[in-house]
Each structure stands twice: as C-alpha cells, then as structure tokens.
C-alpha cells in the first residue's frame, strides 16, 4: 500500500516499503504529476496533494465530509486517517470501507454494486 501519509517520512505505523519510497520511483509519480512545487508541498503537508496528512485544526475548517475507501485501495491508510481526524474535529458525516474492493470500484459501472451506488447519488 502506498500512502501519502507515509511518503518521505520515518514512522513506525508505515510499512518498510512506504518508509523507503523515493520521489523518482513509479509508485509516487502520481504525486509529482499533481504537484505544482513538490518539495514545498511536501514540506508544508499541502492537503491538495496529501489529504492524508490532515490535522484536527485543518479539519475543523472543512464542511461535513463523507469518506469512502475499500479493502484494496492503495489510499486506504490515508482515508482512514482522514476519517478519524474529521471525527475528532466533529466534521465526519460518515464513512465507508467496502470489503473485497479496489480503488475507485464505485465508479466501475460494469459492476452491479457500482450501478447501485451510482444510482443512489
């Protein structure tokens, strides 16, 4: 699992692979592609690039938020952190972790579960 929460950090909660991530690897190209100034954004924990680094103080400024993730989502660690932080800040509207599903499963309209999800919105 690759979590923006762990990239560039040494943390016992992060896996050995996550702790060893380097900015030139394939796994973090998404972050580079979405960055405007990667070094500055990393140093400042820019939430546009690293929403998984949300603090309680930052969360208090957000509207009520619903967080979705899945069992095999490579951003699952970040989503759980965001949900817990939003809850501490009183800004969590709800959250969902879908079992046996991958990242963005709910947008794959070929799946019956996805069609059901999309119809609810």
* pLDDT on residue 10: 61
Whether the full predicted model's pTM is greater than 0.75, yes or no, is: no
Average pLDDT over the chain, rounded to an integer? 78
* pLDDT on residue 22: 54
* pLDDT on residue 11: 62
Residue showing tokens 């050995």: 16
* pLDDT on residue 83: 95
Per-residue model confidence as pLDDT tens digits over 1-60: 345 666 666 666 666 666 665 555 555 677 778 888 888 887 888 888 888 889 999 999
């Amino acid at each position: 699992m690759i979590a923006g929460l762990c990239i560039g950090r040494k943390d016992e909660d992060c896996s050995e692979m996550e702790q060893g991530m380097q900015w030139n690897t394939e796994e973090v190209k998404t972050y580079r592609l979405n960055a405007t100034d990667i070094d500055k954004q990393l140093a400042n924990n820019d939430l546009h690039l690293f929403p998984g680094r949300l603090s309680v103080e930052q969360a208090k400024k957000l509207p009520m938020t619903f967080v979705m993730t899945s069992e095999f989502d490579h951003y699952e660690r970040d989503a759980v952190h965001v949900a817990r932080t939003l809850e501490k800040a009183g800004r969590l509207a709800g959250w969902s972790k879908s079992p046996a599903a991958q990242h963005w499963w709910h947008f794959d309209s070929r799946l019956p579960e996805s069609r059901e999800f999309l119809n609810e919105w």
